[in-house]
Structures are given as structure tokens and as C-alpha cells.
Chains A and B, each alone.
Chain A
Amino acid sequence: MQASISISSSSSFAPVAPRSVRPPALSYSTGQLRFCRLRREAFGFCSFNQSCSIPIHGYRMRNRLPGMKITASVSSNGSPSKGFDYDLVIIGAGVGGHGAALHAVEKGLKTAIIEGDVIGGTCVNRGCVPSKALLAVSGRMRELQDEKHLKALGLRVSESGYDRQAVADHANNLASKIRGNLTNSMKSLGVDILTGVGVFVGKQKVKYGKVGFMDTEITAKNIIIATGSVPFVPNGIEVDGRTVFTSDHALKLEWIPDWLAIVGSGYIGLEFSDVYTALGSEVTFVEALDQLMPGFDPEIGKLAQRILVNPRKIDHHVGVFAKKITPAKDGKPVIIELIDAKTKEPKDTLEVDAALIATGRAPYTKGLGLENVNVVTQRGFVPVSERMEVLDANGNVVPHVYCIGDANGKMMLAHAASAQGISVVEQVCGRDNVLNHLSVPAACFTHPEISFVGLTEPQAREKAEKEGFEISIAKTSFKANTKALAENEGDGLAKLIYKPDTGEILGVHILGLHAADLIHEASNAIAMGMKLQDIKFAVHAHPTLSEVLDELFKSAKVNDDTAVPLPEAVAI
């Protein structure tokens, strides 16, 4: 499937395309002609190469494999529209920019990407990727240290230990490997990688280069801002990079403090607590809200606390701000002054060996020259429409300028940025496309993992009240799943929030073994608009963890007349 797509999309002339691809090309010709208008202008001919990319429900398989030589040689970076150096210039080569660039080249746009730092951005170099390497280690350490669990499986392990430097190297090596893959995938497609900082000088005009030497000016029909974000450090916190640090430093794993305070209990803080406690640290969470893990569905958060926090060497302070954090020096420990989040009165002082600041991320949009296109950022975020079109100070769309990923703050996730980028490229190519953010899954890679898509229960209830519809909840436990029990990992819960009248899925939340991999059945169902009464007939291999979701869908009660009536709930 993948191969046939890339060959067909690589051919410039319809007759060259393999026969097997022709019929769909013809049958979808109306939709496709409209799409090709833009390219006809640019190239003077219409190719049928998009024929097999006609998406179902607006989604299409993407080819991200760098090794596709045929693709690279033929469908390489196209020639630009008249009067422009490029069809598309992307500022920032993170996962968002990368996703957009690949899709743009596939669509025949002449594309350049400007990167002032390293290819791959936060995710690959200082975020998701290296942290997964560390979490892979912490997961195994946990297994080896869990005597009860090993014994239940009949295993005997005399001891476990780790080499800090080797663990750190694993994370670093993974980051460079993925960075290499990303760079190669763009190079092989012929994306122009321009080194330096990109700055707007006017409409459809950007200059780039090293700071102070930004003398190269280029014009582009369309520009995507994809500059991402940096760790957010609240006022009063002094980061020294050694005893008080952000995720950037924490990933380098330069040392393992005996006692680490983690300020912020979102998914970044939670993942790091998993890593550091597995490697022997004790952890204290400092959370400003009244509950740990405030971003999660409350029920999932509660269970997560029971599984991921309470049994571990972790304690927590909630409802407090870290007003001042002083790094360790002169033989004194790191000192954290806590104040009550509501009354602002001093509450407590912590003396710890190190503090990790995981209070979220701030957009990295300074120095972009946005004033030259009359755009004012809001707390650093670039304001955008639902189509990622950048809005100017008056709230009007700035033509040809888009912003994706962390820089717009809509959904600060690597894959969300990439999806937004693809959506923008679709629009640039003349096909209207609005990304449904409620279909974008999110995951926290603790052991066990947490994942979710769509609305949380309180969000759904609020929406239901406002819009006047009913919601229902269904839940299944990993304890009832054969595969989970075989792994002796029965801790976990899957929760479904849905409309009982239509069978529409509003949200799915999972905490349990491989939750991050399990969520996609739900996110795809939401993206495709599938209803529960239909999806519950889908078959799942037995015994697999996916049956947790199977059970979940089956346990939903949809009052749809057309559906087969289900027996009444057993009275209890």
C-alpha cells in the first residue's frame, strides 16, 4: 500500500502511473481537478499524481519513510510560483515544521525550512524522544525491582543496578539518531534547509541567517511559523542548570539527586518522577492547583495518584506556589519557599537536593519580526484562526501566514503540531481543512501509561449542560483483561464519555499497560466520526490489551432505534 502510493505520487505524468492506480484517479477526477488548479498554474500541466491520495474523511496516509528513493528523485521539491523564491517557507524545523515540509513536498510545493538550532526541535532533542529513552530504562528498572511482581511471575533476579552515564548516553544517542532520520528525510525529498534565525521583513518576505548577519532575504507565497516553545520558568525561580533545572537539563541525567522536588505535576513532571524514582531518587511534587495531575480527567488523575504516586517514594504539596527557589550553594541545599496558592501566605519551606521546574512551556516567538506583519502575540502565543491562519492585531486573517504547534498554544503536542502543519499545507493547496483537535490523542509515558483523547468528564458535562444533550459514562478495568492479567499488570482503567442518544464518542481516557498505544482506536474513531453502535461490531484479537477498548465500546448503551436493542442493565 505504502509503496504503491509513493510511486504513483512520484510520477509527474498520469500515463506513467501504474495501471492499478488509474481507476481511482478517474473516478475521483472532479475533486482532484479542483485540487490541482494551483499546481496547474505553477507547472503548466496537471498531473494525476494526487489520484490515490484522495482521503477518506479528509485524512490521508503520510509517507514519512526517508528511504523512498523513487519518491525523492522524481517528486523532489517543485519549482516555485511565479514571483516567489518558494511556495512555502517554514520557520522552525521541529516535528511540526518537519511534518508540514514533508507533506508540502508531496503536494509539489517548493519548500524551504529555516532552523536556527538543531533539526527536530524540542520533541526530538529535549523532549518526547530522549525522555522515552529514559522511561524505557525506568520501566525496566521498575520491573527488576518489583520483587512481588517478579515472584508472581516465578522469576528470580538477584539484583538490579544501572550505570548513569550509559543511561544518559542511550537518551542522547536516541535523540541524535532520530535527528539524523528527520534531517535525512527532508534532505532526500529536497527540502531546502536554511540555517539561521528567520525573521519577517514584510508580507511574504523573510530574512534569515545567524543573529546579526541576517542578510539573506527570501520571498515565499506562504509562510508557516513553527518556532515551538521553551520551558517556562516562573518568576522567583533561579535556574542554575545543576541543582535547579528544567526538563532540558533533567534529560541529560547528569546526576541523580537523593531528593528531587518537581514543581508542576503535569505530564512532564509525572514522567520525570517515574524516571527519577526508578533510579533511586525520592520526589516531592509541588502543585499550585488543589489536585495532582490537574490536566487529566479527575477520575484518571485519582487513579494515577493511587498507582503512580502513593506507592512510590513520592510526597506532595498541593495548592501551593513555589514563590522562590534558590539553587544549592555554599553547602546549603536547594531552598523552596512555598506560599498558599489562594491566600499567598507563606506555607512551608522545603530543603531538597534538586528542583525540576516542570511548570509548562512558553512559546518561543520573540524576535520573529511579527510586528512587520501587524501581529501582536498574546502572552507570547501567536493568535490563529481555527485554520491556523495568523490573526493580526485587529483579529483579521493575515493572508499567507500560518502558525502551527506550541507557538500558537492550541495544543502543545508534537503530533498536534504536525497535524496542524499538514492541515495548513492542504489549505495552501486549495483544499479547505480544519483539524479536529478533539481527535488528537495525548499520552503520558509513565509506568503504566496514561492516554486520552477528546473531552474530560467535567468538560463533557459542561458542554452537555450548555448545549442541552445527555452524556453517559462507561468504564472497563484492566483487571478484567486476560492479556493484562497474563502480564500481571491488572492496574488500570479505561473510561468512555459518550452521547447515549447518538453513540458519538466525546472522550476516551485510559490508564494502564500500553495505554499510549491503545488510545488510537478511539482517536481514529473520533476522527472518522464513527459511532459506538458501529464500532462495537469491530473484532479484536484475543487475548490482547485492545480488548479493554472492545469491552469499553460494548458496555456503552446507545439508545439508537436502529441499533440492536441491548438487554437492560442488571439491577444491583
Chain B
Amino acid sequence: MTTAITPLKTSFLPSSTAASKQLTSPSTLRGTRRRCGNGVRIQAKIREIFMPALSSTMTEGKVVSWVKSEGDKLSKGESVVVVESDKADMDVETFYDGYLAAIMVDEGGVAPVGSAIALLAESEDEISLAKSKAIDSGSSSDPVESQSQPQATIPEPEAPKVTLVMDSASVSVVSMHPAATAERVVASPYAKKLAKDLKVELRSVVGSGPMGRIVAKDVESAAVNGAPSPAPVANSNVRVSVDAGIELGSTVPFTTMQAAVSRNMVESLAVPTFRVGYTIITDALDQLYKKIKSKGVTMTALLAKATALALVQHPVVNSSCRDGKSFTYNSSINIAVAVSIDGGLITPVLQDADKVDIYSLSRKWKELVDKARAKQLQPNEYNTGTFTLSNLGMFGVDRFDAILPPGTGAIMGVGASQPTVVASKDKRIGIKNQMQVNVTADHRIIYGSDLAVFLQTLAKIIEDPKDLTF
């Protein structure tokens, strides 16, 4: 318990009783010194900022956060970086005025005690020099010699220092708000934070909040779409930014959501399932969708509606078996639709999808997705499904096999609707949009013939979708 943190107290306070440890060494520019060692002391111009020893037991430290950014002006005594040791997070202060020229260990990075984590330039002009030095030091072990040569030949007048001081007085220390930028971007505080984290340029984001304000979800969707990201891998337009944060080779514990998914999937193994597939022609459905898309109708809602109408005629497919001894014909048809959110998976439920009209259903769907993103779904909005839809068609997947969520009777995997050359019964060849669906069902209660007739009904509804809109 009595692990003395005493050394900490003395580390950063110049006037503390013990000798202060200087974080930037005055003798860092070894090359410069040696070269000009003819009695005239030329001050080092680029100093290294070391990982300090925050306690006697500390061998390495983690950079929690950089308080200053590259290019920021530092004055003596200001905090530059927060370092986490085995005991505490501590502010590390600079003992020299200057500019934070280059950060060599990024936030979250670990460095051994005594190694350089950043470079401090004395004047603004030397920032670029320091930067190249930082890059070099990454590749070769002793770059100082060659790098410092030009500096040593440049005499160092006192004058620039003076002007710098004046600069710092007029230029406000806080560089949060570029005061006089051309266009105004109104973004909420969290949206701004997210934009920074996800590297989204706010100017390119369209705000959907009150008065056109950019809110968090605008930034999130911009990040997912990848478009405004400064250096997106413009290959697939899906989830470019997500991959960026993944550290290969690392083991990541489950999030709460992932743990829940895992539990459910393992539980599902106890259920004897089987699969039946079907190919459905979607030309009529696509046409209908085009027609009513402008009224806010989504394909998800259309598919849910069609499925629900088919289920009305085949209540056994909408039943569920929980105890292995009996099964329940569910009184309502609640279509759960799997959506992936933040790397997780959740199934918002469209309740009474057979009874609710397609427009209300679409609105409801939008609301559910918004809520799911905000993590505000109520339990009855995600765990009351009686039949599940999973659609990977938008990715071009043509068919796949879904795992049955426990407590339900069946799940349907929906593939992409694709133009396909087909021979029709009247012996003609034509191009039709075809979509494959694949139903996984609990064979204790639902048999092959049940699924077969259900799929037949579903195909009929989708191929002649007039009932979907009432």
C-alpha cells in the first residue's frame, strides 16, 4: 500500500526539494555540440523530449495523450504530453520554450524510459528540419551527425527569438477555432469530436440536425460511406474507416453485444435445423419499389411485408418451440430484421408486419434503425421477433445460410436480386431479375413441406406484389 509515489512529486516541479529531472536534455544535439566545441557554446536548437521515469520501478511508459499538437508553441512549464506509468498518469512538462516539431510516439504507443518521444524545435523555421530528423531516426540509428551539419553552420541570432515571443502573444494559444474561416460549419460538440476521431472532413458532411446542424450520426454515416475521408481506400464503399482501427495480431475481448451474439449462436446449436432454398423473380417487386421509393418505402420493409403476408397463410412457420415438448403458434407476426451496427449485430423487430401498412412499416423501420444506432432500442423492440430476415443482397451475395436465432421457428436469408438469363415455361429465353432466398428452420416443428409451401406463397406474393401496398 505504501508504494511511495514520492519520486513523482519531484519529477516535474522545478522548485521541488529534490533535483528536477529535465525532460528535454540540453545536450541532445550531440553532433552540433562537438562540432562547435571551440569554447563558444551554441545552444542546441532541436531537442529531444524523452520518456521520463515517473517512478523508480518504471522501465517503459505509455503515451496517454499529447496535450499539444505538432507545430504548437510551447513555453517552459507547459504540459506537453500525458504519460502513463505503472502507477499513475502524469503530465510531462517542457523545460524549454519552443515548438513541438515532431511527435515520434503516437497516443497509445509505448516507449522505453529515456527514449525520444518527440522533438522540440526552438524556432518555427526549424520545425521542418526536426520533422525530417524524426523520420530519419525512424530508419537509421544515428542520423544526427549528418542532419545537424547545416544547422551548425547557420549562426543563431537572438532576433528571431524575440519576434517569436511577440507572435505568441498575438496568436492565441488555443487553436480550437479557426476564427476567420470562410464558411461556417455548424456541428455539435460530439459531431466535432467524432469527425476528428474518424478523420471526417466536416465541410463535406451534410447536417441532418436542427437547422441543418451536423450531428453525430451524420459524421458516422459519412465515415461509413467513406467518401469524405481524406485518404479512403476507395475500393469497396463499405466500412472503410472501421478497418483502420484494427490492430492485426491483437486479441480483443467481446463487447457486450458480441458476447450476446455469441451466446445466442451457441445456444442455437441445440436446435436441429435444416434449410430450403427458392429462387424468386423480382421484376415486379423492383418496379413497385421504384414507384413508391419516393414515399419513403424501403426494400427491407417490402420484404418484411411480403414475408409477413406469406406467414399469415402458414402459421406453423411462424411458430416456435422453446422446451422441446410443445410449440406455440405465435399470435402476432413480428418480423425481426438483422442489422449490423458498430461491428455488432442486432435485430430490430417490425411488430405486426402483416397488419401495418407498408408506409407506416417503412417509417417504423427507419425509427428502429435510428434507435439501434443510438443504442436506445427497448427490449420489446429487439427480442420479440417470431421470424427473422437477414439480407446480404446489397453486398452482391447471391445466397447464404443463416443460423436460427433461439426461440424462433425460422430465419430467411435473402440474396441479391440479379439480372439473370432464364428460360421461361413458354420456352423463351429472357432476362429477369432473380433473387435467391434460403430458409433455416427448426425441424422439430417445421417440416420440409411446410417451408416448401411457405416459399411458394412468398414467391407468388413477391412476383405479384399488388397486395403489399393494399
A-to-B contact residues, CB < 8 Å: 147, 150-151, 156, 158-159, 161, 258-259, 282-284, 290, 299, 302-303, 306, 310, 313-319, 332-333, 340, 347-349, 351, 353, 461, 471-477, 479-480, 482, 491, 493, 500, 542-543, 547, 551, 554-555, 557, 569-570, 572
B2 x A572 contact (CB < 8 A) = no
A569 x B5 contact (CB < 8 A) = no
The residue from B16, B21, B176, B213 contacting A316, defined by CB atoms under 8 A apart: B176
16 A-B pairs besides A156-B259, A306-B65 with CB distance below 8 A are: A147-B255, A258-B209, A282-B190, A290-B173, A302-B79, A306-B89, A313-B216, A318-B176, A319-B174, A471-B15, A472-B17, A475-B5, A475-B8, A480-B5, A557-B6, A569-B7
Using a CB-CB cutoff of 8 Å, which residues 1-47 of chain B contact chain A? 1-11, 13, 15-18, 21
Q: Report how far A572 CA is from B255 CA in the complex, Å.
A: 40
A313 x B193 contact (CB < 8 A) = yes
Q: Report how far A542 CA is from B2 CA in the complex, Å.
A: 11
B65 x A473 contact (CB < 8 A) = no
Residue of A whose beta carbon sits closest to that of B6 = A555
With A158-B379, A302-B79 given, is the CB distance from A318 to B174 under 8 Å? yes
Residue of A whose beta carbon sits closest to that of B113 = A572
**Is B100 close to A, CB under 8 A?**
no
A290 x B5 contact (CB < 8 A) = no
The residue from B5, B13, B89 contacting A555, defined by CB atoms under 8 A apart: B5
**Is B375 close to A, CB under 8 A?**
yes
A572 x B79 contact (CB < 8 A) = no
Per-residue A-contact encoding for B101-115, CB less than 8 Å = 1, 0 else: 000000000000000
**Is B188 close to A, CB under 8 A?**
yes
**Is B159 close to A, CB under 8 A?**
no
Q: List 13 A-B contacts (CB under 8 A).
A: A151-B253, A161-B376, A290-B174, A302-B91, A313-B193, A315-B192, A317-B176, A332-B211, A333-B211, A351-B213, A475-B8, A477-B87, A569-B6
Q: What DSSP secondary structure best describes chain A's contact surface? A: mixed
Chain B residues near A151: list those with CB within 8 A. 253, 255-256
Chain A residues near B326: list those with CB within 8 A. none
Instruction: Give the 9 A-B residue pairs with the shortest CB-CB distance, closest first.
Output: A477-B88, A313-B190, A315-B189, A282-B189, A555-B6, A282-B188, A572-B53, A569-B18, A570-B56
The residue from A147, A306, A554 contacting B2, defined by CB atoms under 8 A apart: A554
Q: Report how far A341 CA is from B56 CA in the complex, Å.
A: 44
Q: Report how far A158 CA is from B380 CA in the complex, Å.
A: 12
Residue of A whose beta carbon sits closest to that of B209 = A258
Q: Report how far A258 CA is from B16 CA in the complex, Å.
A: 46
Q: Report how far A473 CA is from B9 CA in the complex, Å.
A: 6
Q: Report how far A370 CA is from B255 CA in the complex, Å.
A: 65
**Is B236 close to A, CB under 8 A?**
no
**Is B172 close to A, CB under 8 A?**
yes
Chain A residues near B192: list those with CB within 8 A. 315
Q: Report how far A156 CA is from B8 CA in the complex, Å.
A: 37
Q: Report how far A78 CA is from B282 CA in the complex, Å.
A: 95
With A316-B176, A319-B172, A473-B9 given, is the CB distance from A259 to B255 under 8 Å? no
**Is B428 close to A, CB under 8 A?**
no
The residue from B10, B87, B213, B375 contacting A259, defined by CB atoms under 8 A apart: B213
Chain A residues near B2: list those with CB within 8 A. 551, 554
Chain B residues near A569: list those with CB within 8 A. 6-7, 10, 17-18
Q: Report how far A491 CA is from B90 CA in the complex, Å.
A: 11
Chain B residues near A158: list those with CB within 8 A. 379
Chain A residues near B332: list those with CB within 8 A. none
